[in-house]
Amino acid sequence: MNADNDPSLEEHIRKAAVLVEALPYMQSFRGETFLIKVGGSAMDNLDLLRSLMRDIVFLEAVGVNPVVVHGGGKAISAAMARQGLEPVWASGLRVTDSASIEVVAKTLEDEVNPMLVEMLLRYGGKTAGVKGRSMLTGERAVGHDDDGNEVDLGFVGNVTGCNADAVRDLVEREVVPVVSPLASEVGTGLPLNVNADLAAAAMAKELGVSKLIYLSDVRGLLRDPSDPSTLIPSVTRAGTEALIEDGIIKGGMIPKVRSAADSIEHGVGKVHMIDGRIPHALLLEVFTNVGIGTEILA
Ligand SMILES: Nc1ncnc2c1ncn2[C@@H]1O[C@H](COP(=O)(O)OP(=O)(O)O)[C@@H](O)[C@H]1O
Ligand SMILES: CC(=O)N[C@@H](CCC(=O)OP(=O)(O)O)C(=O)O
C-alpha cells in the first residue's frame, strides 16, 4: 500500500515519528530518578490528574524512575471547612493546631495518597503509598506575621532528616512510590505538617535525583504572576535569589523556589516548574525541546 494515498496510514506514520522523536530523551533518562511534586492546585481537574498519572506510568515504562510527592492544600482546607475549622496561614504555611493536624493527616494519608495510588494502578503502574512520616523527621517551624513578629505555627515542621531507604527499595523494584508530606517530630514522634514543596525538595536531595519537577497551576515562574506571557523559561540558582529580592517571586512561591535552589546546590540536576493544567505537561517538558515551563539550573 502507498502511504501517499492512504490518509489513515499517514496518520499512523506521523504517530510513530512522534515516538521516535522522544528516543534521544528516553535513552539519556533511562535509569534516572525524577522526583515529581504534584501540588493540590494540579488536582482540581480529576481528568487531568488521571492523565498526569498515566504520563507517570509512561515514564516508568520507558525506564525512568518516577517518585511522587503530593500536596493537597485545597483538599485539607475543604476538609477543615466541613468540620467548621477556619484555615489560618503565616509565612505561606498553614497554622496547624491539634484539631487541624488530625484533618491534615487524614486528608493527605487516607484520601489524597490512596486516590493517586488508585489512579496509577488503573493505568497498569506498579505503585505503593508511603507515609512521609515514616521517612522524614522534622522540628517545629516558626512563622512570621506581616509585621515580622514570630507566630506559633503549632504542628508544622521543617524537615531535618530524611531516610529514603524505603523509597530506594521501591524504586529498585520498579514500583512508583507516592509519598505524603508529613514528618515525625524529633524527640516526640508526633506528626508534623510539612509544606509539600519542602518535603519534595528534601527527598530530591536525599535521593540525588536528576530532575525535581513541580506541577502547579501557573505556567512557571512569571515576571508578572497575573500575565502568563511573562514566563521566565530559564533561571540560575543565583538568579532566583535576585527575583525574590526584587519582589517578583512572592508568597508560597518563595519556599518552593528557595528549597528548589537549595536542592540544586546539594546535587539535584535540574528543577522544572510546569503547569499541571496543560495536558501532558510532564511528557512535553521531559521528552521534547518545547520547554513549556521554567527550568532552574545550577
Ligand atoms: N513570580 C511568580 N510566578 C509564578 N507564580 C507566583 C509568583 N509569585 C507568586 N506566585 C504564586 O505562587 C502560586 C503557586 O505556588 P503554590 O500556591 O505553593 O502552588 P502549589 O500549591 O501548587 O504548590 C501561584 O498560583 C502564584 O499565585
Ligand atoms: C505546613 C503546610 O502549609 N502544609 C501544607 C501541606 C500540603 C501542601 O503543601 O499542599 P500543596 O502542595 O497543595 O500546597 C498544608 O497544610 O496545606
Nearest Cα residue to atom 19 of ligand 1: 216
pTM of the model: 0.96
Nearest Cα residue to atom 16 of ligand 1: 252
Task: Give residue 80 CA to ligand 1 midpoint distance, Å.
Answer: 22
Q: What one-letter code names the amino acid at 39?
A: G
Ligand 2 within 6 A of CB of 72:
yes
CATH T-level assignment (fold) for domain 31-297: Carbamate kinase (3.40.1160)
* Closest to 181 (Cα-Cα) out of 49, 35, 45: 35
Q: What is the CA radius of gyration of the chain?
A: 20
C-alpha triplet 218, 216, 149: angle, nearest 5°: 90
Ligand 1 within 6 A of CB of 256:
yes
Task: Give the end-to-end CA distance of the chain in Å, rounded to a whole number.
Answer: 52
* Sequence-ordered strand ranges (E) for the chain: 33-38, 65-70, 89-90, 93-94, 127-131, 136-144, 150-162, 176-180, 182-185, 191-193, 211-216, 234-236, 270-275, 294-297
Contact 45, 115 (CB under 8 A): no
DSSP tally for the chain: helices H, then strands E: 11, 14
* Closest to 274 (Cα-Cα) out of 256, 292, 254, 252: 292
What is the domain partition of the chain in residue ranges? 31-297
Q: Are strands 65-70 and 270-275 parallel, antiparallel or unpaired?
A: unpaired
Q: Find the ligand nearest to 253 CA.
A: 1
Per-residue pLDDT of the chain in tens (298 residues, 90 and over written 9): 555 678 899 999 999 999 999 999 999 999 999 999 999 989 999 999 999 999 999 999 999 999 999 999 999 999 999 999 999 999 889 999 999 999 999 999 999 999 999 999 999 999 999 999 999 999 999 999 889 999 999 999 999 999 999 999 999 999 999 999 999 999 999 999 999 999 999 999 999 999 999 999 999 999 999 999 999 999 999 999 999 999 999 888 988 999 999 999 999 999 999 999 999 999 999 999 888 999 999 9
